[in-house]
Amino acid sequence: MDFTTFLFYAFATILVFAALRVITDRNPVHAALYLVLTFAAASALWMLIKAEFLSIVLVLVYVGAVMVLFLFVVMMVDIKLSKLREGFWGYLPLAAGIGAVIVLMMAGVLFQGFWKSHVEVPAGADMIGNTKELGKLIYTDYLYAFELAGLLLLVGMVAAVALTMRKRKDSKYFAPGDAVRVRASDRVRVVKMKAEPRQNGDDQSAAPSAEQK
């Protein structure tokens, strides 16, 4: 076993473990952090197959932007874990069936590649790490799909901000427009008062006597 194969199995083990923790951890913040670890391990695997551009894009887009937005939503929105766990076991057979189908499909692809002595490489696969060629394809043949993906990300960002701006009983809320339109005279008032000297009678009446003490 060479060093590259060792790295593949190491990152693959980390990826599978982190992916399982995403769906089994009870804390949503911890699950999101495990998802970040999953993306990082997948990025390392793509780096091993010399897909540098896809690896860096996975880190920058998903780990650096999408997951930060997801963590922002999870930490700011009042998520009730009791409601999320309701009906979990009812959906377990459906989830297990879908997972079994995915495992069989992946196993079929892997075994087909293992049994074949010669695997035909599709045309253009040698340029998968070429940023210039990928940029040409994105902005020519896949321009509408690229714009649609950007629009979906924008909608998700606006929805996250809208969810955090909703009024709740356990949070303080103020209108930003009122804070912008405030004037100094509305907050601070300077009052001028005429100082009057104290009289001796007032001082004696204010001071407590020995009997009162």
For residue 120, what are the domain limits? 3-80+93-167
pLDDT digits (tens, 9 = 90+) for 96-114: 888 888 888 878 777 765 5
30 within domain boundaries: yes
What Rg, from alpha-carbon coordinates, does the chain have?
32
Query: CA 94, CA 88: separation in Å to the nearest integer?
Result: 11
The predicted structure's pLDDT at residue 17: 94
Sign of CA dihedral 143, 149, 152, 153: negative
Rounded mean pLDDT of the chain?
76
65 within domain boundaries: yes
160 within domain boundaries: yes
The predicted structure's pLDDT at residue 12: 92
Does residue 58 contact residue 45 with C-beta atoms inside 8 Å?
A: no
7 within domain boundaries: yes
Q: Which pTM does this prediction carry?
A: 0.52
85 within domain boundaries: no
87 within domain boundaries: no
Q: How many domains are contained in the chain?
A: 1
What is the CATH number for 53? 1.20.120.1200
pLDDT digits (tens, 9 = 90+) for 191-208: 888 877 776 655 555 555
